[in-house]
Amino acid sequence: MSLTVIILTKDEERHIARAINAIHEIADQILVVDSGSTDNTVEIARGLGAIVLENPWTNYATQLNWAIDNVPESTEWIMRLDADEIVQPALAREIAEGLPRILPKIDGIYVSRRMTFLRRPILWGGVFPVRVLRLFRKGRGRCEMRWMDEHILVEGPTVDFQGELIDDNHNSLTWWTQKHNSYASREVVDMLNLEYGFMPHETIADLRGVEQAGVKRWLKENVYARLPGGLRAFVYFLYRYLLRLGFLDGAQGTAFHVLQGFWYRYLVDMKLYEVKAAMARDGLDAVSAIREVLGITVNAQDEGAKGRAGS
């Protein structure tokens, strides 16, 4: 079975060689799609035998779908991999041995994903491992069109592999907070779209038979989103840190649960408040307010959404 691994990059010279080396034995092709790196990412990837294409960045979903459309013709299976993720040896063996035996009716394969924070594995808090669909047949999978928390959509049956990916990012905490500040703005776009419908809404929560990610998305869109802003971030943090024993992850884990489980979620709520305040104060529609407040330009597909500013 011909497997192409897709890796999206921008300034990933710290991680790209590690990611490629971990999948070199199982990938027939490695496709790196770069969006304007200014470091040695492209040179390192090419030196390790990857195909490197360049494409301007809009958002992750758009970039990944562009990559899917540009995989080599011989590709039968596609794997999505982030540059800071490492395919563990057990998963690599499982892919090499199990992929040729997958029945033709199967469209996708779920694997487990864990992560580290400040070089320490996060084991508590009820967050990891998370089941993610990362392998899918060419022509049968697409990335849902969202600005944040994107997943692969397939319509047919899926199976499970037991091996794991490890997200082990070695960038600084300053880089992490800047990245999550950007993530917060992107998540606000999706939350406003859920309310005002200015773009097509794709979500794995609508699919039957999806695993953990679909359940979490449903809870996020139908329960969490309806709780009072700000308060919900604090409640979620207490759930993770106390009820799910996040404090057992040590000092690094405390930083992770505070920053990712409270600070980030609270930042999303405050950015959402800021955009809605601009809509009410200045009479802006959601798309215009997003552009003015968050600096993000979205292409509204539903012109009828314009003018529906909150009162």
Q: Is the pLDDT of residue 304 over 60?
A: no
Residues 272, 291 within the same domain: yes
The 3-state DSSP class for residue 196 equals helix
Residues 266-278: tens digit of each pLDDT: 999 999 999 999 9
* Cα 140 to Cα 106, 108, 152, 153, distances in angstroms: 10, 8, 10, 8
Residue 263 confidence (pLDDT) above 60: yes
My answer on whether 157 and 257 are in the same domain is: no
Confidence tier at 227 by pLDDT (50, 70, 90):
confident
**85, 135 in Cβ contact below 8 A?**
no
Compute the average pLDDT of residues 247-264: 97
State yes or no: pLDDT of 303 exceeds 50.
no
Q: Which of 167, 187, 205 is at the close of a domain?
A: 167
Residue 92 sits in a domain of what CATH number?
A: 3.90.550.10
One domain for residues 152 and 195: no
Q: Where among 167, 182, 213 does a domain terminate?
A: 167
Q: Are residues 81 and 152 in the same domain?
A: yes
Residue 113 lies in a domain: yes
Q: Is residue 311 part of a domain?
A: no
What tens digit of pLDDT does each residue of 84-106 get? 999 999 999 999 999 999 999 99
- How many CB atoms are closer than 10 A to CB 103? 7
Give residue 164's pLDDT: 98
Identify the pLDDT of residue 179: 97
Same domain assignment for residues 16 and 146: yes
What pLDDT is recorded for position 147? 87
Tell me, yes or no, whether 43 lies in a domain: yes
User: How many structural domains comprise the chain?
Assistant: 2
> Residue 98's domain spans which residues?
3-167
Same domain, 300 and 183: yes
Are 181 and 143 part of one and the same domain?
Answer: no
310, part of any domain:
no
Whether 155 is in a domain gets the answer: yes
Q: Clarify whether residues 82 and 227 are in a common domain.
A: no
259 CB contacts (<8 Å, ≥6 apart)?
Answer: 176, 177, 180
- Average pLDDT, integer, range 25-31: 97
8 is a domain residue: yes
In a domain, 46, yes or no: yes
Please indicate, yes or no, whether residues 90 and 131 belong to a single structural domain of this protein: yes
Quick one: pLDDT at residue 181? 98
CB 32 within 8 A of CB 9: yes
Question: Could you report the per-residue pLDDT of 199-219, keeping only the tens digit for each?
Answer: 876 665 554 445 566 677 677
| One domain, residues 130 and 72 | yes
Using one digit for the tens of pLDDT, what is the confidence trace for 142-190? 999 888 888 999 989 999 999 999 999 999 999 999 999 999 999 999 9
pLDDT at 232 over 60: yes
Residue 269 within a domain:
yes
**Which three-class secondary structure state does DSSP give residue 306?**
coil
Q: Which three-class secondary structure state does DSSP give residue 282?
A: helix
Are residues 158 and 178 located together in one domain of the fold?
no
Same domain, 240 and 190: yes
Point out the domain boundary residue: 144, 167, 190: 167
CB atoms within 10 A of CB 127: 18
